[in-house]
Amino acid sequence: MTTKTIKTNAILTSIMLAVGISMIPSAFSIEYPFLNGDGTHDVCIISSDFNGVKLNGNTNQGSTIAPLVENGMDEVGDNTNMSLTKITSCSSGKSVAYGSWLSSSYLGSTQGPFGSTGNQYKYVKFNTNSAVNFANSGSCQWYQNPNLEYVANHEFGHFAGLDLAHGSPSSPTMNEASCGSAYASIKTNDINKINGWYN
């Protein structure tokens, strides 16, 4: 992609996992859906943009990581009124999912929205800090082995506009204190909230 400029003063929210309980700063408790109401967005996902993300102890795994990110996106798009389409040709003003160094406290973050109504876009980022080792299978352990697909699903919940722990405790996808398999699917409360925003 040609540009990865991030407007840091427009942070939507981030996933910050904690052991046992969620420590959520009030500043992150925000719901911010797209304003155009149709929920139709292209998301640019390019495999090479994830080569800096460590997966199962190795970097340069972009071709394996990109489908996991897409699966997290599809879980939201396939089960709600959002229509999310993967594209591989990034251009200015498009939503983008990619790897970017973040503070070691964060596994992923969603930033935005940017642009005018009807042409809004967001960024979904995954941590490239060497201390972070994502997994694509097996048990999910706090921070040393977070399941990347679950993290992606959570971030695309934010992409839709959901805040942290929305619908808790019946919405584990948007909670931060679990690595259970419930993370892998979006929940009824979340679906209803998203569908209330989008046609």
Sequence-distant (≥ 6) Cβ neighbours of residue 181 within 8 angstroms: none
Domain annotation for the chain: domains and CATH numbers: 10-197 (3.40.390.10)
Beta bridge partners of 98: 125
Task: Find out whether 164 and 13 touch, Cβ atoms under 8 Å.
Answer: yes
* pTM summary value: 0.83
Place of tokens 């046992």: 20
The Cα–Cα gap between 157 and 80 comes to 11
pLDDT of amino acid 140: 61
- What pLDDT digit, counting tens, does each position of 75-91 carry? 999 999 999 999 999 98
Q: Is 60 left (phi over 0), alpha (psi -120 to 50) or beta?
A: left
- What pLDDT digit, counting tens, does each position of 137-196 carry? 766 665 567 889 888 998 999 999 998 766 555 666 787 645 666 777 888 888 989 999
Task: Find out whether 114 and 96 touch, Cβ atoms under 8 Å.
Answer: no
